[in-house]
Structure 1
Amino acid sequence: MIKKKLFIGSSSEELKLAEQVKKILENDFEITIWNDNVWDTAIFKINQNFLADLLKASLQFDFGILLGTIDDKVMFRGEEMLQPRDNVLFELGLFTGRLGTSKCAFLIDKEIKLPSDFIGLTLARFDKKDPTTLISAVNQISDLFKNSSDDEINFFPSATLASVYYENLIIPICRYIIENDGYTKDGKHYKKCRINIIIPDRINQDVNLQFEKLKATFTTENVSFKYSGRPRQISIDTQIKNETLEFIEFPTIITGINHAISNLLPNDFNRQSPDYNTILDRELRRFITTLKLLLIKGGFDEMVNVKRESEL
């Protein structure tokens, strides 16, 4: 079973505390601790793109924990307050925005008083003087993450593209088959019909060429039909297997994943770095997960198979 990736952010002064949190969680998650030194030494330096690194990190992880420790004293509405380092709060906002409130937690010192803006976030308090409170708080977060659904529909590029693909193509094909009690091809009516959506194991730079090569491994015939509400006919490849008409669909829409990530991380796109490829793989898995969830919700999951290239 693949471990989910978890990010831990903290101030540089609390890296030892971050290591303690990592030890509690490392049996269940693949954990990376952000080395806060980059903020202390490079925040105002030219050619140090720390923000790009953070944006990249927020796309790579399934969960995030930010450690809120007493690092600074500030005046808030006339009162002196203890608060975490500004960069930790920035990372908290970034990861919460990327991952959602159910997949990001704020592990904070009990001495910290938080403004009302933090209502709605997952907060777990601990007392630095009592190690058992840290273990308890971290275990609460662990349980939350482990119980969180993989099947949430979010606004990552992959999930958005999967939703559009499902609404504009898969639903019309399924409804056409149901309304016509099958499909008539070459004068023969097939009551048994299935849709096989074939997805590559990884996304290359030229996704369309990639699909053409994949399509060449099939022996298919193209059919087209008009469906109410669509401005153009639906065109799709088919093959006959065991008296079943199989619609073979290659979702070229996933090229949008590459396009979206390349705009977020342009330098990595130019060199197809390992981090970039990791993010692409994650987004491809999210596309599949979202699509399968939508099929279940729509009641079309028995009609549609979603297969990776390696499963053929």
Structure 2
Amino acid sequence: MIKKRLFIGSSSEELNLAETAKAILDKDFDVSIWNENVWDKSIFKINQNFLSDLLKATLQYDFGILIGTGDDKVTFRGTEVLQPRDNVLFELGLFTGRLGTSKCAFLIDKEIKLLSDFGGLSVAQFDTEDSSSFERAVTQIKDLFLSSSDDDLNFFPSSTLASVYLENLIVPICRFLIENGGFKVGDNHYRKCQINVIVPDRINEDVNLQFEKLKSTIQTENVTFKYAGRPRNISIDTQMKDGTLEFIDFPTIISGINHAISNLLPNDFNKLSPDYNSILERELRRFITTLKKLLIKHGFDEMVSVKRESEL
């Protein structure tokens, strides 16, 4: 089972707390720590654009924890209070906006001043004088993350594309098969039907050509049918296998994943960096898990199989 990736961010003064949190979380997550003074072990490299690397990290990680301690003193309405570093607050906002409030948490010293805008965020407080309170706070966050669905619908390109793909192709085919008790090809009416969605192991620049090469290895026959509410006929490839009429589709819509990420990270796209490829792989997995969740929601999960190319 692949561990979900978790990012911990803190100021350099609190690296020891980040290490303690990592030790607690390592069993359940693939944990990385970022700190401005540990470049060699960090997500971000000193010779790269800082904001670009932060954006890249929000695409690479499933969960984020930002540690807030009283590193800075500020005057608030005439009173001196403690507040986390600005960069920690910035990263908290960035990760929360990208991952959602159930997948990002603020691990915070109980003595610091919380802004009113923090309402609705996942916050776990600890006492710097009590190490056990810190461990309890980290465990509280761990339980929150473990209870969070690993395939929640979100604003990542893969999730949106999976929703569009399902509504525009898979749902009409499933409904047609149910309403007609199967599918008729020539004089034969097949009552046993199955839809197989084949997702590639990786996305090439030309997804259409990629699928054409894959389809050439499978002997199929194209069929078309009209479905109410659609301006054009639905066209899909089929094959007979063990007495079942199988509908086979290669979702070329996933090319949108490549397009979206290449616009967000143009430099990494141009050199096809390892980070870029890892983000693409993560988005392919998100596409599959989102599609499977939606199939269950619609009640079509028994009719549709979603496989990677390597599983054929």
When the two structures are superposed, what TM-score results if normalisation uses the length of structure 2?
Answer: 0.95
Give the aligned CA root-mean-square deviation in angstroms: 1.5
Shift of 1:267: 0.3
Paired residue for 2:20? 20
Q: Show CA shifts across 1:74-119 (max 9, x none).
A: 2234433211000000000000011110011100001012122111
Paired residue for 1:42? none
Shift of 1:162: 0.2
Paired residue for 1:307? 307
- Superposition map of 1:1-312 within 5 A: 1-37=1-37, 48-312=48-312
Q: Show CA shifts across 1:45-82 (max 9, x none).
A: x9751000000011100100000010111223443321
The change in CA–CA distance for 1:174 and 1:61 in structure 2 (over 3 A counts) is same
The residue type paired with residue 204 of structure 2 is N
Shift of 1:29: 1.1
- The 2-side partners of 1:242 and 1:27 are apart by 44
Structure 1 runs not aligned, ≥5 long: 40-45
The residue type paired with residue 50 of structure 1 is F
- The 2-side partners of 1:239 and 1:194 are apart by 10
Shift of 1:16: 2.0
The residue type paired with residue 112 of structure 1 is I
Q: Percent identity?
A: 76
- The 1-side partners of 2:21 and 2:245 are apart by 54
Q: Show CA shifts across 1:176-200 (max 9, x none).
A: 1111111100211111111000111
Shift of 1:251: 0.2
Whether contact under 8 Å (1:38, 1:50) holds in the other structure is no
- The 2-side partners of 1:238 and 1:70 are apart by 63
Whether contact under 8 Å (1:239, 1:246) holds in the other structure is yes
Shift of 1:279: 0.5
Shift of 1:212: 1.2
The residue type paired with residue 199 of structure 2 is I
Whether contact under 8 Å (1:106, 1:123) holds in the other structure is yes
The change in CA–CA distance for 1:172 and 1:30 in structure 2 (over 3 A counts) is same
Shift of 1:36: 2.0
SS of residue in 2 equivalent to 1:19: helix
- The 2-side partners of 1:129 and 1:206 are apart by 57
Q: Show CA shifts across 1:157-216 (max 9, x none).
A: 000000000011111111111111111002111111110001111112222221111111
The residue type paired with residue 245 of structure 1 is L
SS of residue in 1 equivalent to 2:102: helix
